[in-house]
Amino acid sequence: MSNDPLVVFTPSGKRGRFPAGTPVLTAARQLGVDLDSVCGGRGICSKCQITPSYGEFSKHGVTVADDALSEWNSVEQRYDDKRGLKKGRRLGCQAQIMGDVVIDVPEESQVHKQVVRKRAEAREIIMNPSIRMYYVEVQEPDMHEPSGDLERLAFALKDQWGLEGVKADLNILHTMQPALRKGQWKVTVAVHHGNATQPAKVMHIWPGYYEGKIYGLAVDLGSTTIAAHLCDLDSGEVVASSGIMNPQIRFGEDLMSRVSYSMMNKDGAAEMTRAVREGMNTLFDQIAGEAGIDKGLIVDAVFVCNPVMHHLFLGVDPFELGQAPFALATSSSLNLTAAELDLKIHPSARVYILPCIAGHVGADAAAVALSEAPDKSEDLVLVVDVGTNAEILLGNKEKVLACSSPTGPAFEGAQISSGQRAAPGAIERVEIDPVTKAPRFKVIGSDLWSDDDGFAEAIAGSGITGICGSGIIEMVAEMRMQGIVDGPGLIGSPDQTGTDRCFLDGRTYSYMVWDGSAEAGPTITVTNRDIREIQMAKAALYSGARLLMDKFGVDKVDRVVLAGAFGAHISPKHAMVLGMIPDAPLDKVTSAGNAAGTGARIALLNTDARAEIEQTVQRIHKIETAIEPRFQEHFVNASNIPNAVEPFPILATVVTLPDVNFNTGGGDNTDGGRRRRRRG
């Protein structure tokens, strides 16, 4: 035995001795080295490519001779002629170990490979999808030993892949017999590995070796938009991303108005269920079209959403979510099939819906927790998913708290007089001159500031149409910084502010941002009512975060992560001036992008992550803001800009806010009494 050649695999470092002539793939399997193969070592799939290294390896104590592996064979030659093998590569199932050798397994040849992600700080995704493909050779039927074709297929999976007790979806029975015969008893099957409620099953069958791919969808079902990533289930790569407006918007902009719709209209909930599922199918058509793939190859889908969307998508009346005690029908994760949800992808595609955390903290928040992993953080992190409803997580590896807070749609540009969705023409960045009090801004579609040369030409196509969510945040913060609006949220008069841009507009003042009348475009102003809307939205968000800090027993957080598509565009400084987020070093406020969508993608590509988040949500402590008296107090304080009582010492080192008060005795402007409970 000790004379047998030694093989050392990198990067795993696993090593062992094997008789001369052992294929590299066989050695890898025996050592538990992660080396992929779909065809089971038959020289068909080329997934088991490896790179032998030659020469002296003192680190491993091995000298590799030129003839350490068997010669390049005809199977490798055929594959190279047909598809080209990278220089230095061999097929692991063909190359035999003849002498001591060091074998590198490149990332793409690993089953559990790491998915390359653009964002540097993002957690890595290790491939471990719930559905994989296997090539098998099936015994032919024999009249003397009658058995079903399916039973022989299952035997082949057990015999050739060690997969025990695999059953089949009913649709497999409809296609299996012709496929087996067309492939001359060699077939490729897609096998779902099963879970707590679904046994392992063959989902699809192709005659012979199937060279194509199978796909999965990671879907973030929001109240306003539905966004999906189509992923290759082998590489993990996103092959297309797409989004549509949630068609339920016609039943109500925010969630509470949809819950009301279902209460006021018989079959209202069913109507909304139909709408969202139809929307889903439209989106899936769109994304499959973009990627140029057959929808029938989408075999897995993961969904994240808030509780109301969760219920409506499942066909559950959200009635109970509209009133205390906000009881979810179910908080567990769900394993379903596409057919059960009327989704027109692969007929038996699997569907996984992440668990909900509580009646107001949904599977989307769970997905954010999966993506941003506050439960694994050394320092104390506040994760805020900014949307019509904000989901807030606070914690570290010791403990994680969660709540939601009804911010309303102001951050999406709704209920703001010149507000609009983020689209070309919308003001997204703002600076107000300390002396002239005049704003300069950028609009979506151009990188130029409004006072740069060529700005007018650059935006000629879109015009200047309104202010989007991130724009309004910067606008209000700049107005506060330059003394146009005071702490309680009142816009000053021309006298008080020293600019004619402030003008009497009914009983309060408004601020003129852009007079479009010369170009027949809209005139863009910020009214005092707009300020109120932003105050309420940011106060809801802040008071939720502050409540969690109380419960955690802290006065400050180490870092803040802004999640949500919108969170990506928020300027940390302006958000802090507004008092939307707690005081923190600006470089400790980062954006995670669509973290909910990322969480969905992680769960799609790695089934272990599903088990992980199911465990994690059990440990997250949920805070119901509606029954916490201090929430109201925090809310009232947070209505001030940045806050009536809390100091922002770190902010103070960066920005000095003018100490102005425009109230001349006409009333209380904190507006705490106008508080509404909104969900959505």
Binding site for a second copy (CB under 8 A): 140-144, 146-151, 165, 167-168, 170, 173-174, 176-178, 196-197, 199, 201, 314-317, 319-320, 324-332, 336, 340, 356-359, 622, 624, 626-627
Residues in the chain: 680
Q: C-beta of 265: minimal distance to a second copy in Å?
A: 16
Between 147 and 436, name the residue whose CB sits nearer to a second copy: 147
Q: What are phi and psi of 374, to 5 degrees?
A: -60, -30
d(CA 537, CA 580): 8
Sheet containing strand 524-526, edge to edge, reads 502-505, 508-514, 524-526
Between 85 and 329, name the residue whose CB sits nearer to a second copy: 329
d(CA 66, CA 55): 8
Instruction: For residue 462, give every residue at least 6 positions away whose Cβ sits within 8 Å of its Cβ, in sequence order, or none.
Output: 424, 425, 443, 444, 445
d(CA 431, CA 450): 10
Between 340 and 515, name the residue whose CB sits nearer to a second copy: 340
**Can you spell out the DSSP letters for 362-398?**
-HHHHHHHHHH-GGG-SS-EEEEE-SSSEEEEEEETT
Closest by CA to 556, choosing from 573, 574, 576, 570, is 576
Between 399 and 440, name the residue whose CB sits nearer to a second copy: 399
Q: C-beta of 279: minimal distance to a second copy in Å?
A: 20
Q: C-beta of 525: minimal distance to a second copy in Å?
A: 42
d(CA 312, CA 280): 13
Closest by CA to 127, choosing from 641, 635, 607, is 607
DSSP 52: E
Q: C-beta of 548: minimal distance to a second copy in Å?
A: 15
Q: C-beta of 620: minimal distance to a second copy in Å?
A: 10
Between 359 and 564, name the residue whose CB sits nearer to a second copy: 359
For the CA atoms of the chain, what is the radius of gyration? 30
Q: C-beta of 365: minimal distance to a second copy in Å?
A: 12
Between 185 and 215, name the residue whose CB sits nearer to a second copy: 185
What are the strands, taking DSSP E only, across 452-596?
466-467, 502-505, 508-514, 524-526, 559-563, 589-593
Q: C-beta of 110: minimal distance to a second copy in Å?
A: 32
Q: C-beta of 617: minimal distance to a second copy in Å?
A: 11
Between 327 and 654, name the residue whose CB sits nearer to a second copy: 327
Between 217 and 357, name the residue whose CB sits nearer to a second copy: 357
Paired residues of 432 in beta bridges: 439
Q: Which two tokens stand for residue 495?
A: 């006298």
Between 172 and 602, name the residue whose CB sits nearer to a second copy: 172
Q: What is the largest CA-CA distance in the chain?
A: 103
Q: C-beta of 153: minimal distance to a second copy in Å?
A: 9
HEC readout, 196-252: CCCCCEEEEEEECCCCCCCEEEEEEECCCEEEEEEEECCCCCEEEEEEEECHHHHHC
Between 367 and 580, name the residue whose CB sits nearer to a second copy: 367
Q: C-beta of 325: minimal distance to a second copy in Å?
A: 4
Strands 298-305 and 350-353: parallel
Q: C-beta of 237: minimal distance to a second copy in Å?
A: 32
